[in-house]
Amino acid sequence: MKLVGKIREAHGLKGDLYVLVFSGEIAWAKRMKTFGLKAKDSDEIKTFTVERTKPFKKGLIVKAAEVADRTAAEGLEHMEFFIDDELMVSKPGETIFLSEIKNFKLKNPEQTVLGEIVGFSSNGVQDLLVVETADGKTAEIPFVDAFIKKIDFKHQAVVMDLPEGLLDIENA
């Protein structure tokens, strides 16, 4: 299961939960059948069955079959919210989830390997790929349409046409 948010608070009287989703992206919510909750001081993830969901603020409202009323919902506040890993796999034509390209090779249009995508970051405006270059240095590359030429799932590679010197500037 993948951590995507936390229970912010109980919502209403019928046991609904307001889930603050860290990314704000909830395209997966309509496909969610179950979710997991975990207290910060525990290793156990308890599974709940989804009755309904709807978008709300920076996340969603979820009603779980196992949560009967507001009192029960209040007992779950601040718990970490997990979803099944398969919900974080995009369908053809959908925007990808960054986690899908972790450990992919970053290549230029000539197919030269520039490094490996080892993580992700953000500068507040755009997502950044954290790339480890062949010489062991780390660079943050803007993951923007202007640079992206192809995402090749078959060969686990992201082809990007980066401005000349971008990797050099990052590694200076």
- Say if residue 23 is in the same domain as residue 83: yes
Residues 123 and 50 occupy one common structural domain: no
Each residue's pLDDT tens digit, 110-140 = 999 999 999 888 777 788 899 998 888 899 9
Same domain, 133 and 64: no
- Asked whether residue 107 is domain-assigned, the answer is yes
> Of 43, 63, 88, which one is at a domain's C-terminal end?
88
Tell me if 160 sits within 8 A of 148, measured CB to CB: yes
Q: How many residues comprise the chain? A: 172
Residue 83: other Cβ atoms inside 10 A? 23
Asked whether residue 104 falls in the same domain as residue 72, the answer is: no
Structural domain count of the chain: 2
**Mean pLDDT (whole number) for 94-98:** 77
At residue 132, what is the residue type? E
83 and 6 fall within a common domain: yes
Domain hosting 78: range is 2-88
DSSP reduced 3-state for 12:
coil
- Determine how many CB atoms are found less than 10 A away from the CB of residue 4: 22
Residue 126 falls inside a structural domain:
yes
Residue-wise pLDDT tens digits, 56-87: 998 999 999 999 999 999 999 999 999 998 88
Distance CA 33, CA 86 (A): 11
> How much is the mean pLDDT over the chain?
90
Residue 172 pLDDT greater than 60, yes or no: no
Between CA 94 and CA 15 the distance in angstroms is: 32
| CATH number where 29 lies | 2.40.30.60
Same domain, 80 and 57: yes
State the Cα–Cα distance between residues 99 and 40, nearest whole angstrom.
Answer: 23
CATH number reported for the structural domain that contains residue 159 in this entry: 2.30.30.240
Residue 93 in domain: no
Both 59 and 77 in a single domain?
yes
Angle in degrees, CA 108, 96, 166, rounded to 5: 30
